[in-house]
Amino acid sequence: MSDRERTTGTGRLVTGMVWAALLLGLWLWGREVTDVRHGTTAPATGDMAAAGRPPIAALPPPAKPLAGARPQRLDIPGLAVQAPVVARGLDAQGAVDPPPYDQPGVVGWYGAGAEPGTAGTALMVGHVDTRTRPAVFHGLSALRPGQTVRVVRDDGKVAEFTVEDVTVLSRDRFDAQQAYGPRESGRAELRLITCGGTFDRATGSYTANVVVSAYLTGTAL
């Protein structure tokens, strides 16, 4: 699937066989990307016990979805993350192809899905670690409801998202619809996904995935 494929109009989610393949591929990615093939240790993944806590204050109302534009950079002020975004497709096994391991600071956006800020669910994935240091989504589980995630787009606008919840999904009971499906019809939503849980040395992989769900609440220039 070409990185240049783009969703037009409202940025609707992939449908039919393509959507089914995506969900399967993302599930596979949730299993395969956790395999630290070039690492030997189990880095921390943040305060996992706190993930999914309810918001302290009421969350803001959703903003009207934007017209389509490709993401260029992801900013997470609460984690001091500013990362370039690259479009990714599916690999030969049908899994989402994450950024290469030699680009640990890069975020992958599923380029055949919704563009961040358009109606639907935009999907972004990133590594949690490398052999020698944390990667871009190392602290993802430390995010809390109400915090801000910003996506700089190639139309000059900055789509501002508010974190709605942080969920840790067990690899053995992975629910693709819960992880990647829209929470509310018509909203512009964003999912940030990485490895989580504990490191299983027997399998060389993590036991879960961290899924941050956010929705569009504003726009800046």
The pLDDT confidence band at residue 184, using thresholds 50, 70 and 90, is very high
pLDDT at position 91: 67
The pLDDT confidence band at residue 113, using thresholds 50, 70 and 90, is very high
Domain boundaries in the chain?
A: 16-220
**pLDDT tens, 136-167?**
999 999 999 999 999 999 999 999 999 999 99
Is 168 in contact with 141 (CB distance < 8 Å)?
A: yes
Per CATH, which fold does 16-220 belong to? Sortase; Chain: A; (2.40.260)
**pLDDT tens, 12-21?**
333 333 444 4
Cβ atoms within 10 A of the Cβ of 144, count?
17
- In sequence order, the β-bridge partners of residue 138 are none
pLDDT at position 169: 87
Q: Over range 186-212, report the average pLDDT.
A: 86
